[in-house]
Structure 1
Amino acid sequence: MLAPILLATVLAGCQSDSSISSSSPEISPCNRLRDVDLPAQRFDVTAQALAHSSGCFIKTDLADTGSIDVAAVSGHLSIAAALSRALAPTQLQVIQNGDTLIVHS
């Protein structure tokens, strides 16, 4: 039997990006550039911080991935790139599907 998949979601009030004007073409929240500065920590903490700051959903089975330690990430980059860098030293893989990043082992 497959374990349930949990989704890290964001609250509407958690995201704000005044650098994107209303006349800008629609850019996925996962691909908008942002300043990121996260320490090395558990994946679930990193995923929550990235999701809450961006509006990008991160879908994963936290029973399998939540306690895995990921790398520190800093710089001006997209949430997708930040997540990929954080996962680099692990066996976890990330796939983007629209406004959702799917992380699996």
Structure 2
Amino acid sequence: MAALSAACQSDQSFSSSSPEISPCNRLRDFDLPAQRFDETAQALAHASSCFIKADLADIGSTQVPAVSGHLSIAAALSRILAPTDLQVMQHGDTLIVH
């Protein structure tokens, strides 16, 4: 499983283990094109101190749609993965894609 560092903002569908807002839940502006999941995950990872864990050997080449707007990394990942059978779970400052 590969880990990428990334940023996020609040989305009530994701829980945080801390009462403070997780870096994965902080709002950011995104304007990413449709591309491979690994490219999008890397771009999101460079945005903050939120980590993204995913098995890039299995899903790295999966094509994901463009994502734009003022949203968290958690919400951005959820949005791009909606057309797939992949899901995002949050554990503290880490987003896990499975």
CA distance in 2, matches of 1:30, 1:68: 22
CA contact (8 A) 2:5 2:48 kept: no
The runs of 5 or more residues in structure 2 that have no matched partner are 8-18
Q: What is the aligned residue count?
A: 87
Q: Percent identity?
A: 77
> Could you state the TM-score of these two structures normalised by the residue count of structure 2?
0.82
Residue 59 (str. 1) matches residue 45 (str. 2): no
| Residue of 33, 36, 39 corresponding to 1:42 | 36
Larger strand percent: 2
* Structure of higher CA gyration radius: 1
> Could you state the TM-score of these two structures normalised by the residue count of structure 1?
0.77
CA distance in 2, matches of 1:60, 1:30: 15
CA contact (8 A) 2:64 2:80 kept: yes
Larger helix percent: 1
**Match of 1:80?**
74
